[in-house]
């Protein structure tokens, strides 16, 4: 079983995990492990897989894994309400609706009675492919599509058999519809009525799934189950957890990453009403800090502000953004580790022969994840162990980190996954930094005599200044091509920190000194003679995957350079890309063609001062193409209209796909806006809140149309693929207006 940490899994990592991990062990679970009696809500398909053993029933084992057993996923109440447990974190991407849709499809449930709830760190809720708990890499629907179909089909088969036994007929003669089993002569029994009898039946090892032509839920635009709660402010998130006697902790963190404390004067802090303790605690990456525990956030924050702290930063590297850029430029001119080494003549020869040449340098800053809900984790200790309430993308990993921190066995830690207000990768971190901090504080509080649940809460400033950013990158390219746009040579260098260095993925994912996430999206799908080298400097800035990972920068480089070739050879950017795709990339062709057709590109006359921009990119096995309309107003770029063509194979819930592309496009636009950068001066982050760190807002949102290429193939991911192509499409439109290529994010036109 692969149970190391993971991240917003890029395609390369998905393939390597699937190839390299040992098969997950087969669980010997009882065949009758299916239904449980719910004291308050009737009989349910519940979470006690050994209930039938406790009842003294025969327990012939079958080769089903915990991830295949309906008992952990389906609960049917006496009134027919079906509650589906989701094996992922819901943080805006819609899995709390899409996964229940998949299961309900095969169950033939009444959709009006279906509910969704989040799971725990129990192994039943691990990713069925990777064998670990993970929400990331746009894998939720892709990896659990077959799993949830089979879960629904198994539950349905048992309910049908229960009806057949009750009526003394052959199960083959029965059918189901909308939560009801129907027999000859119109005989009917609801799922709620059958649950008790179904409890005594074996779990079928194999089931027959529906023909997709029979789907009545999958593929239908469906309103999200949590839409009403979220739109009315009734949705609870991790930050909203309230336990009896709960206390709140905030942490004073060092101004420079890794710094330690010289002295602490906490007299004023302890004098704040409601403060229960002020504790010196170890922090992530060897740093130290001071935790203030109080009976609410405001007294804790007020006391933290009153602390008088002296920091020892002597041993910590003090990063300076201007100096760092100069260092990256120097590295780019030195020999680096080779990723692609094209079978071509030395670069200078075809460059000399090439009638056209491009020399380009691209700069991409550090980026914060900046989810609307700051990081938080509530920890409650007891004699039996610990319970955590946290919006985690990796509850299994976080649970193990909590166990190590608290000195407990992993099975003594229960992680109750809470809905999260965004994450974009920050809640999936190999170090489990914010969970470890919360457990450290809870343990220290207990040692100080505070026997109460403790919620550790980050402020917005803590979040912006707290590290684990998308790394800063520098690209340098030299491209030689002929008058027809045929590339004769492409020499490329990438400089940027590795997000996998020091993580459990380093042995598998860092080959020849190159982090595979840093180069994903380079060259493909274009047949280019590219020589690519990479430098991974070590810098005292914590870095992490960020929505769409390496494609956040590689897509911009590739798509703007490809577009520049079309401008310099007077070719249509759509036709040029189609020619390069050839017959090898039909999904790229289909996505781009759909965006072109729906946008009116080449047919519609644009208003004066506007230009078209085009870009297409594949990430996480899905392809998104954008055709945009943009202009320049008062020296600033303006995005007016966006048309997306999406190829994600079968769209389980087209409404969710549309929302994901809209959100990703806005986040991609945010990378282009002035102020969208994390910068350093003397080791200190210069930004601290949305007043000086730009994120895209509703007022920045252009008109956007999302169109999905029809497909019956198994679904691929959509949480991240909508982001990479937006910025280059926007940049390409602006370059057509100004005649100057854009080489930096955020945009700088001057």
Q: How far is 637 from 361, CA to CA, in rounded Å?
A: 21
- What is the average pLDDT across 219-241? 97
Q: How far is 717 from 140, CA to CA, in rounded Å?
A: 7
Element (H, E) at 724: none
Residue 25 has pLDDT above 90, yes or no: no
List pLDDT tens digits, range 185-229: 999 999 999 988 998 899 999 999 999 999 999 999 999 999 999
| pLDDT for position 340 | 79
Count of residues making up the chain: 750
| pLDDT for position 200 | 81
b/e per residue, 428-438, with b = 16+ CB within 10 A? bbbbbbbbbbb
Q: How far is 373 from 394, CA to CA, in rounded Å?
A: 17
List pLDDT tens digits, range 250-285: 999 999 999 999 999 999 999 999 999 999 999 999
List pLDDT tens digits, range 649-701: 999 999 999 999 999 999 999 999 999 999 999 999 999 999 999 999 999 99
Element (H, E) at 659: helix 654-670
Residue 1 has pLDDT above 60, yes or no: no
**Kind of pairing between the strands at 530-535 and 487-496:** parallel
For residue 525, whether the previous peptide bond is cis, meaning omega lies within 30 degrees of 0, is yes
Q: Is 304 exposed, middle or buried (CB count within 10 Å of its CB: 0-12, 13-18, 19+)? A: buried
| pLDDT for position 20 | 39
- Return the closest-CA partner of residue 478 out of 324, 580, 356, 326: 356
| pLDDT for position 403 | 98
| pLDDT for position 347 | 53
| pLDDT for position 348 | 57
- Looking at residue 24, the DSSP 8-state letter turns out to be P
DSSP output for 138-150: T-HHHHHHHHHHH
| pLDDT for position 750 | 77
Q: What percent of the chain has pLDDT over 70?
A: 90
Cα distances (Å, whole numbers) of residue 526 to 341, 483, 588: 15, 18, 11
Element (H, E) at 709: none
- Return the closest-CA partner of residue 453 out of 653, 247, 275: 247
List pLDDT tens digits, range 422-460: 999 999 999 999 999 999 999 999 999 999 999 999 999
- Reported confidence tier of residue 496, pLDDT bands at 50, 70, 90: very high
Report domain extents, the chain: 11-231, 238-315+375-457, 333-367+468-738
Residue 122 has pLDDT above 80, yes or no: yes
- Looking at residue 512, the DSSP 8-state letter turns out to be T
| pLDDT for position 341 | 74
Element (H, E) at 712: none
| pLDDT for position 346 | 54
Residues 614/729, Cβ–Cβ less than 8 Å: yes
- Reported confidence tier of residue 46, pLDDT bands at 50, 70, 90: very low
Write down the CATH number for the domain with range 11-231: 3.30.365.10
Residue 415 has pLDDT above 60, yes or no: yes
| pLDDT for position 29 | 33
- Return the closest-CA partner of residue 637 out of 588, 661, 671, 686: 671
Residue 349 has pLDDT above 80, yes or no: no
Q: Which CATH class name applies to 333-367+468-738?
A: alpha beta
List pLDDT tens digits, range 573-596: 999 999 999 999 999 999 999 999
Element (H, E) at 599: helix 586-599
Question: What is the third-level CATH fold of 238-315+375-457?
Answer: Aldehyde Oxidoreductase; domain 4 (3.30.365)
The reply to whether domains 11-231 and 238-315+375-457 share a CATH topology is: yes
**Measured at the alpha carbon of residue 97, what is the angle toward residues 94 and 100, in degrees to the nearest 5?**
140
Look up residue 207 and give its two tokens. 């089931």
Residues 58/388, Cβ–Cβ less than 8 Å: no
List pLDDT tens digits, range 468-492: 999 999 999 999 999 999 999 999 9
Q: What percent of the chain has pLDDT over 90?
A: 88
Residue 396 has pLDDT above 90, yes or no: yes
Q: How far is 496 from 367, CA to CA, in rounded Å?
A: 13
Q: How far is 546 from 498, CA to CA, in rounded Å?
A: 13
**Kind of pairing between the strands at 114-118 and 82-86:** parallel
Please give the mean pLDDT across all residues of the chain: 91
DSSP output for 725-738: THHHHHHHHHHHHH
DSSP output for 51-75: HHHHTT----EEE--GGG-GGGTEE
**Higher pLDDT residue, 404 or 750?**
404
- Return the closest-CA partner of residue 120 out of 416, 330, 394: 416
């Amino acid at each position: 079983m692969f149970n190391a940490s993971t991240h917003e899994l890029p395609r390369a990592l998905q393939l390597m995990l699937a190839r390299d991990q040992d098969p997950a062990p087969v669980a010997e679970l009882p065949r009758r492990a299916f239904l449980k009696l719910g004291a308050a809500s009737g009989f349910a398909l519940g979470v006690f897989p050994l209930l039938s053993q406790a009842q003294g029933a025969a327990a012939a084992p079958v080769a089903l894994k915990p991830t295949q057993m309906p008992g952990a996923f389906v609960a049917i109440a006496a009134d027919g309400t079906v509650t589906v447990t989701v094996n992922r974190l819901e943080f805006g991407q819609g899995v709390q609706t899409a996964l229940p849709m998949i299961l309900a499809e095969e169950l033939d449930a009444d959709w009006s009675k279906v509910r969704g709830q989040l799971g725990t760190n129990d192994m039943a809720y691990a990713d069925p492919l990777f064998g670990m708990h993970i929400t990331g890499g746009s894998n939720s629907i892709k990896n659990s599509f077959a799993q949830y179909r089979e879960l629904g089909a198994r539950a349905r088969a048992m309910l049908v058999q229960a009806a057949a036994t009750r009526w003394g007929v052959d199960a083959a003669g029965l059918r189901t519809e909308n939560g009801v089993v129907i027999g000859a002569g119109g005989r009917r029994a609801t799922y709620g009525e059958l649950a008790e009898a179904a409890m005594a039946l074996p779990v079928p090892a194999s089931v027959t799934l529906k023909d997709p032509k029979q789907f009545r839920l999958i593929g239908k635009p469906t309103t999200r189950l949590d839409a009403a709660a979220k739109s009315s402010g009734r949705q609870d998130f991790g930050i909203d957890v309230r336990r009896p006697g709960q206390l709140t902790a905030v942490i004073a963190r060092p101004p420079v990453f890794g710094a330690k404390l010289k002295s602490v004067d906490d007299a004023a802090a302890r004098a704040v009403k409601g403060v229960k303790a002020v504790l010196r605690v170890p922090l992530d990456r060897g740093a130290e800090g001071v935790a203030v525990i109080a009976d609410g956030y405001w007294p804790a924050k007020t006391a933290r502000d009153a602390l008088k702290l002296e920091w020892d930063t002597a041993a910590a590297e003090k990063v300076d953004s201007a100096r760092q850029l100069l260092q990256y430029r120097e590295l780019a001119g030195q020999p680096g580790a080779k990723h692609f080494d094209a079978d071509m003549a030395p670069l200078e020869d075809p460059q000399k022969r090439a009638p056209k040449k491009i020399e380009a340098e691209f700069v991409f800053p550090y980026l914060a994840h900046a989810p609307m809900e700051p990081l938080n984790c509530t920890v409650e200790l007891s004699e039996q162990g610990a319970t955590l309430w946290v919006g985690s993308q990796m509850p299994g990993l976080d649970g193990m980190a909590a166990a190590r921190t608290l000195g407990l066995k992993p099975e003594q830690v229960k992680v109750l996954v809470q809905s999260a207000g965004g994450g974009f990768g920050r809640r999936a971190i190999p170090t489990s930094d914010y969970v470890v901090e919360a457990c450290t504080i809870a343990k220290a509080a207990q040692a100080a005599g505070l026997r109460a649940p403790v919620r550790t809460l980050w402020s917005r400033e803590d979040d912006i200044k707290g590290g684990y950013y998308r790394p800063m990158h520098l690209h340098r390219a030299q491209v030689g091509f002929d008058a027809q746009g045929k590339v004769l040579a492409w020499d490329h260098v990438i400089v940027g920190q590795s997000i996998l260095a020091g993580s459990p993925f380093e042995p598998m994912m860092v080959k020849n000194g190159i982090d595979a996430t840093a180069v994903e999206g380079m060259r493909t799908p274009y047949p280019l003679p590219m020589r690519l080298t990479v430098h991974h400097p070590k810098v005292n800035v914590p870095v992490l995957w960020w929505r769409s990972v390496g494609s956040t920068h590689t897509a911009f480089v590739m798509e703007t350079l490809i577009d520049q070739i079309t401008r310099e050879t007077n070719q249509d950017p759509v036709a040029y890309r189609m020619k390069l795709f050839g017959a090898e990339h039909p999904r790229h062709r289909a996505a781009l063609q759909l965006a072109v057709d729906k946008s009116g590109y080449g047919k519609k006359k644009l208003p004066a001062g506007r230009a078209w921009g085009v870009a297409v990119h594949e990430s996480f096995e899905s392809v998104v193409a954008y055709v945009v309309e943009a202009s320049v107003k008062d020296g600033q770029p303006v995005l007016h209209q966006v048309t997306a063509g999406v190829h994600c194979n079968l769209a389980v819930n087209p409404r969710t796909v549309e929302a994901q592309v809209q959100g990703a496009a806005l986040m991609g636009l945010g990378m282009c806006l002035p102020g969208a950068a994390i910068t350093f001066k003397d080791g200190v982050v210069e930004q601290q809140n949305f007043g000086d760190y730009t994120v895209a807002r509703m007022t920045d949102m252009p008109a956007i149309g999302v169109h999905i290429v029809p497909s019956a193939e198994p679904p691929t991911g959509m949480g991240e693929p909508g982001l990479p192509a937006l910025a280059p499409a926007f940049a390409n439109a602006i370059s057509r207006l100004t005649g100057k290529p854009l080489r930096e994010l955020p945009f700088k036109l001057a």
